[in-house]
Amino acid sequence: MKTIHWGILGAGNIAATFATAINYLEASKLTAIASRNLDKAKKFADRFHIDKAYGSYEELVQDPEIDVIYIATPHTEHKTNAAMCITNGKAVLCEKPFTLNAGDSEFLISLAREHKVFLMEAMWTKFLPVTRMVKNWLKEGRIGEIRHFKVSFGYHSDFDINSRIYNPDLAGGALLDVGVYPISYVIHMMDRLPDQVISSAVIGRSGVDEQNIIILKYDNGVLADLSSAVSVETGYDAVIMGDKGKIIIPSFWEAQSAELYDNNNTLLDTYKYPFTSNGYAYEAEEVSQCLRDGKLESDIIPLKDTLDIMKIMDEIRAQWGLTYPQEQN
């Protein structure tokens, strides 16, 4: 099996989680880390036993040994960082949200196709074994016809205008940070886009959405009740209800278990799949296998799906009148 050589661009907390996952995989080697601070890169390399540490992103993308780069920088930098990787012929796994808006996503997708390199959004939840099992249960009709989703991802973070979470200059707020998860989850389970999107948000003193409610409405009678927040704990679970029962997925975005009930609330089935390292390993393995197979995008997260969800989030922000400073120039 061909070994895939990985580089990581950015050396923050999410990069550390991804590095842990890569080091558990066979035939995938974490070869280089890049930070704008060389000392930080060297410490990261020592921690995760990485051969090369770079003090600039440019050095990483020009390393001939690297096959693919995981972009772990703030979302405001994704477009620039991914474009630099692509134009240097490097495959890219870009952390979610893919970009700030659909226009930026279209740019990267076109660039990747022009340069014939692999590109994928790091929506890791879709690759989890529990997510796959839940989708199988739905296809098998275990809860009958789907009628309703209730999915939430909301946490409390103290207000700090300088933090990534609340700072408009860093495209803060709930939607791009965590709201993308419930939206992606429902569309993934439904295998189709909603026919109508209705939403409302609290735009706080930060100038970004501190909490929101989103309704995805399907013409076949399915409603999805979604919420996300950075200022209040709203929960992390997903419930999918059908006419014959329901499925409960605790902490759906990082799910390691799911339960299936009938309409009498009797537990019919349980599926548990604890992580061996962490949940990022599954998406990393997908990318490595796609590269071995010569693919330019994943069948599980094709680029069209990423773009469609970015368009929905653009529509939602338009309903709120929320734009980021970078979009106003």
CA dist 6 and 8 (Å) reads 7
Nearest to 270 by CA among 279, 281, 261, 280: 261
DSSP 8-state symbol, 37: S
Task: Determine which one of 96, 126, 150, 246 is catalytic.
Answer: 96
Among the listed residues 47, 91, 83, the one whose alpha carbon sits nearest the alpha carbon of residue 67 = 91
Written as six digits, the tokens of 155 are 């946490």
Number of Cβ within 10 Å of residue 101's Cβ equals 21
CA–CA separation, 82 and 69 (whole Å):
9
Contact 41, 34 (CB under 8 A): yes
Radius of gyration of the chain (CA): 20
Look at strands 257-262 and 267-272 and give their pairing.
antiparallel
207: left (phi over 0), alpha (psi -120 to 50) or beta: left
Region label for 27, one of left (φ > 0), alpha (ψ between -120 and 50) or beta (otherwise): left
Check: CB of residue 320 under 8 Å from CB of residue 201. yes
Distance of alpha carbon 69 from alpha carbon 7, whole angstroms: 5
Residue 29 catalytic? Answer: no
Residues annotated as catalytic are 96
